[in-house]
Amino acid sequence: MTYYSLNHNAPKVSFREAVVNGLAPDKGLYFPSEIKRLPTTFFEKIEDLDPVTIAFEAIKQFVGDDIPENDLKEIVREVLSFDFPVKEVEEGIHVLELYHGPTLAFKDVGARFMARCLGYFNKNKETQEKVTVLVATSGDTGGAVANGFYEVGGVEVVILYPSGKVSEIQEKQLTTLGKNISAIEVDGTFDDCQAMVKKAFLDSEFEGKRTLTSANSINVARWLPQMFYYFFAYRKLKSEGKKVVFSVPSGNFGNICAGMMAQKLGLPVHHFVTGTNANKIVPDYLKTGEYLTQPSVATISNAMDVGAPSNFVRIQQIYNNDLEVLRSQLTGYSYSDDETREALQHLYQNHNYIADPHGAIGYLALKEYLKDDKESVGVFLETAHPVKFLDVIPKNIVDEIQLPDVVKSLLPKEKKAEKISTYQELKSWLLTN
């Protein structure tokens, strides 16, 4: 398997090179040169397959010969060490809970997969080359990456996060580990953090001093494994005999893009729905045909506070840059903080379900779409544990949330983070630490 840059001005690379490089030299995101559909028989018997087999079959073509099949299967087995429950919330609507991993967020899958791939590449080198994983987070990425890469040999992790724009628990997850994990608190927004990361990748002064790569969903090893749980949800719901619609709360659009790749492999997904907060670049694009990025707006669903979704270019590629084809497969809605709070209350009071703000938006978007589609069964993604958002979830619901043990152990720990405001400060820190 080879990967090419979506800016079309860089050499093709192997899976290993795409993972280590993160971003192509021409600033483009890597995309697989070929996508082979899985055989129809795979989906006909999917309910008889275990999760490790399903995930292995989904990912192996994208890894190619860079990791032997036995090692790749073991990596997948280690990644999938927790559950992905699908629960019925109300008639025709299910929730896919993706927060049962070590950092209580959907990003655990991609972070753990990428960490193990990098660990494998380093393990098999005669002289271990230090790699610095430089990553921006709007909330959950940082904690998942910190946990996934903690004490991985030959890998240092530097996480940039926007000051005051992540929850207390999210901040603790990425600032308290130490060892090979460093946190940098940026005076700005997530978009500022992401811009600094991209600028560093393309800065020639790091050559020979630090090998930089990304663990954001721009990295193929972070992005592609997110396909797994779409397969798992379909496996669970196949027996209902209805078309399946996935509603994905979206910020950087890596998660929903992975679902679309699963569809490209043949997964029978009838339609995708994206729910966003005030950062509604993609829903607006689907309505107007104009793709206009904007400065991000802070909301209570902070992980989706993204004004320039970097993965959307991959979605466009999946659908051959044809807006009408994309519209036939994707519907977008946006919601205010007040509407999000109302959905949290509705889910709790009417269905005894405690959601986080991102899942609540996924639920709202799914309900809106299904008004005109009575033939499908819907699944909205609950992407993070509600405990991460105690400061914004209504108090009557907060009182019912039990603190997981992993959170209880975090709270007494001391935050350690470097504070910066500019790219030059980041560059200086990377060159001197």
The amino acid at residue 316 is Q
Residue 234 CB partners (closer than 8 Å, separation 6+):
43, 46, 244, 267, 268, 269
d(C-alpha 199, C-alpha 210), whole Å: 14
For the chain, domain boundaries = 83-103+223-402
- 83-103+223-402 has CATH 3.40.50.1100 classification: yes
Note the helical H segments in 202-241. Answer: 220-223, 228-237
Instruction: Find, among 220, 232, 234, the residue nearest to 54 by Cα.
Output: 232
Would you name the residues annotated as active-site residues? 107
Pairwise CA distance, residues 32 & 278, whole Å:
32
Q: From first to last of its 433 residues, what are the pLDDT tens digits of the chain?
A: 999 999 999 999 999 999 998 889 998 999 999 999 999 999 999 999 999 999 999 999 999 999 999 999 999 999 999 999 999 999 999 999 999 999 999 999 999 999 999 989 887 654 456 889 999 987 778 889 999 999 988 899 999 999 999 888 889 999 999 999 999 999 999 889 989 998 998 899 998 888 898 888 889 999 999 999 999 999 999 999 999 999 999 999 999 999 999 999 999 999 999 999 999 999 999 999 999 999 989 999 988 999 999 999 999 999 999 999 999 999 999 999 999 999 999 999 999 999 999 999 999 999 999 999 999 999 999 999 999 999 999 999 999 999 999 999 998 999 999 999 999 999 999 999 8
Give the pTM: 0.91
Q: In this structure, which amino acid lies at residue 32?
A: P
